Amino acid sequence: MSEDKNPKAYREFIVQRVQYFRNEAKLSARELSQRMGLSPSYISKFEMGELNIPADNLLDVINICGILPEEFFCENFREYPKEKEFLMAFRNLSDENKDLIFKVMESMK
């Protein structure tokens, strides 16, 4: 996401993510709304800017779409699986090897 701190930009970011992950889960807006136990038009109205989505409902969307919150909010979410795998491997390294990885990364800038 850009460095723009405009609340409208953040809202658009969330709308785009909901649409993307909903489509990835092969769910219509209507089906997602119904799985959330809400009116069939809830997600459509949210995506069209007619209403806001409370945090609890956003977490329901994330859960129903089968992703984790960190994936939803990850800046480069399409690279999330690779980044997560890298971080998990990095966490298992000794402190000495972590320092070595940082040095290698610095030399690659």
Banded model confidence at residue 93, pLDDT cuts 50, 70, 90: very high
Of 22, 27, 17, nearest to 80 by C-alpha is: 17
For residue 2, pLDDT over 50 is answered with no
Q: What is the pLDDT of residue 7?
A: 83
pTM of the complete model: 0.75
CB 69 within 8 A of CB 59: yes
> 7 versus 50: which is more confidently predicted?
50
What integer best gives the mean pLDDT of the chain? 91
